[in-house]
Amino acid sequence: MANQEDIFKKVVSHAKEYGFIFPSSEIYDGLGAVYDYGQLGTELKNNIKQYWWKAMVQYHENIVGIDSAIFMHPKIWKASGHVDAFNDPLIDNKDSKKRYRADVLIEDHIAKIEDKIKKECDKAHKRFGDAFNREQFVSTNPRVLEHQKQIDEIHEKYAELMNANDLAGLKQLILDLGIVCPISGTRNWTDVRQFNLMFATKMGSVEGENDTLYLRPETAQGIFVNFLNVQKSGRMKIPFGIAQIGKAFRNEIVARQFIFRMREFEQMEMQFFVRPGTELEWFRHWKEERLNWHLALGIPADKYRFHDHEKLAHYANAATDIEFEFPFGFKELEGIHSRTDFDLSRHSEFSGKKLQYFDSELNENYTPYVIETSIGVDRTFLAIFSHALKEETLEDGSTRTLLSLPPVLAPYKAAILPLVKKDGLPERAREIMDSLKYDFMLQYDEKDAIGRRYRRQDAIGTPFCITVDNDTLEGKGVTVRERDSMKQERIPVEKLNTYLHEHIKPIQVN
Ligand code: GAP
């Protein structure tokens, strides 16, 4: 795999070839930025959701989950600010007729400069070997310092323009940075305009101004408007959280990078309600806790970084993104926001219902402050899948395609493979499968030579292959082959259940 673009192409084609992700409506030539999950993709996606749900709801006594409707009262989106302000700044290139997000053009430009820094570091690392000190290098190397200065200046200007909603200024910045259209290569840009991202539809048969509904652009508002219902019916005491997994819809203008930016996607969001004044402490808590959730999957820590927001929404007093190094660079995977009492106050104002909490310890009523953690299911899928996909050259010079998914997320936990299709081995293999299938997703495969069957399981990320041979018939256990190391060990059949449970757990991070 030569470069990042090739790696990304390989990710997309592997996902399709093995039944993880298909373009939506493919036989009708597809639908832009909409995808279907296939038989293995659905398993992986469900496992991601379960891993999140367990970590957030099951492991926290003070967090409960809900499932609110996609359709909500249209006033909700007025109150939340989405009708007036859920916009992207758009710009068109007059030559290619292609449309871009102005902010994304600038961020991509910054990413290119960041890439130059990375290349300088890689070069120096090669030259100095183990003696290379990255921190020292980036704080002293003149070329790196110059690049960093450029980045800081662009960031500062960009944040200032976005905060002031200065669309003319954004266009000027794009011109000043010499940003060209990737298709036409020209700087022939239109003015920047705002474009609302919500999909609108109608309810009922009579059309009118007030019957416009929106497909929810985030799941969070379903939590806010149910705050009192949950708090009262669950007798929840602050601090407490409400979690939800569900579909969200955004009419993304720049729909590219596969499932990174979709028009229909899924979010896993949690709103944590706290006493006013304690929110920044809780913000730090959730930053750490959410990063640990990612690290427990065993993906190296240097694939993640925090990106604190320069442009804070007017209602937020702290915000950060957990970014992941996708094949196209570091990009947002999850957002953690301290949203103050903005949402509950606005819904109180627009609904006329008081959304407050009586704190018996303080003997006072207040509107709780909120820390939000918000992560895309599909983006998590892409992060994990793209990191897992590898081409390996083995000792004998042959190659294998390996999908080294974290075992807890893998679609199948094990494959049950009779060594040959005779001598009673398939029957014994089926018995073993039946004894394990209520606890684990398993695949049975008896076709082709064992080596080819191993390769097939490697390519779909199955962490363990359980081979049943003649010794198994004599009560001498089975061979268990571990996917990444390809090491094999003999395990008694009655210990298989415990063995698999032990080996598919996420790793413990603090
Ligand atoms: N309630 C806050 C909120 O929705 P956001 O940063 O707009 O915040 C949260 O979205 C997460 O949802 C993102 O970090 C990303 O993982 C995911 N997400 C947002 N837009 C997406 C899209 N168009 N396609 C796929 N995932 C998306």
What digits encode the pLDDT tens for the residues 254-299?
A: 767 899 999 999 999 999 999 999 999 999 999 999 999 999 999 9
DSSP label at residue 301 = G
Q: Residue 210: its pLDDT value, please?
A: 65
State the distance from the centre of ligand 1 to the C-alpha of 40, rounded, in angstroms.
Answer: 23
Average pLDDT of the residues in 312-319:
88
| pLDDT given for residue 507 in this prediction | 74
| pLDDT at residue 435, rounded to an integer | 97
What angle, 0 to 180 degrees and rounded to 10, lies between the N-to-C axes of helices 377-388 and 39-53?
Answer: 110
Name the least confident of 143-157, 198-212, 232-246.
Answer: 198-212
43-82 pLDDT per residue, tens: 999 999 999 999 999 999 999 999 999 999 999 999 999 9
Q: How far is the CA of 252 from the centre of ligand 1 (A)?
A: 11
Give nearest CA residue, ligand 1 atom 16: 376
d(CA 26, CA 34): 10
Rounded to the nearest whole angstrom, what is the distance from the C-alpha of residue 82 to the centroid of ligand 1?
Answer: 14
CB 354 within 8 A of CB 325: no
Structure confidence by residue, pLDDT tens digits, 152-209: 999 999 988 988 889 999 999 999 999 999 999 999 999 999 999 999 999 876 566 5
Please tell me the residue having the least CA distance from ligand 1 atom 20: 261
Q: Do residues 368 and 258 lie in contact, with contact meaning Cβ atoms separated by under 8 Å? A: no
* Mean pLDDT for the stretch of residues 219-223: 98
Rounded-to-integer distance, Cα 346 and Cα 325, Å: 36
For residue 207, the model assigns a pLDDT of 61
Q: Does residue 376 carry a pLDDT above 70?
A: yes
Nearest CA to ligand 1 atom 7: 218
- For all residues of the chain together, what is the average pLDDT? 94
**426-454 per-position pLDDT tens digit:** 999 999 999 999 999 999 999 999 999 99
Q: Does residue 34 contact residue 371 with C-beta atoms inside 8 Å? A: no
- At position 379, the amino acid (one-letter code) is R
CA of 375 to the centre of ligand 1 (A): 6
How far is the centre of ligand 1, averaged over its atoms, from the C-alpha of 28 (Å)? 28
Q: Which of 80, 103, 198, 218 to mutate to test the pocket of ligand 1 (most atoms within 8 A of CB)?
A: 218
- For ligand 1, the distance from its centroid to the CA atom of residue 148, given in whole angstroms, is 28
How far, in Å, from the CA of 382 to the mean position of ligand 1?
Answer: 13
- How much is the average pLDDT of 351-355? 97
**Whose alpha carbon is nearest atom 17 of ligand 1?**
376
The CA-based diameter of the chain, rounded to the nearest angstrom, is: 79
**Residue 509 pLDDT > 70:** no
Residue 1 has pLDDT above 50, yes or no: no
What is the per-residue pLDDT for 209?
56
Ligand 1 interacting residues, C-beta cut-off 6 A: 218, 220, 250, 252, 261-262, 265, 267, 269, 332-335, 372, 374-376, 378-379
Res 2: pLDDT = 52
Ligand 1 test: best mutation among 379, 381, 382, most atoms within 8 Å of CB? 379
Interval 389-404: pLDDT, tens: 999 999 999 999 999 9
Direct distance between the N- and C-terminal alpha carbons of the chain, in angstroms, rounded to an integer: 36
**Residue 80 buriedness (CB in 10 A; 0-12 / 13-18 / 19+):** buried
Residue pLDDT, tens place only, 490-505: 999 999 999 999 999 8
Residue nearest ligand 1's atom 10 by CA? 374
pLDDT for residue 245 is more than 50: yes
Per-residue pLDDT reduced to its tens digit, 403-421: 999 999 999 999 999 999 9
pLDDT for res 502 = 96
Q: Which atom of ligand 1 is nearest to the CA of 321?
A: 14
Residue of 88, 265, 331 best suited for mutating to test ligand 1, as the one with most atoms within 8 Å of CB: 265
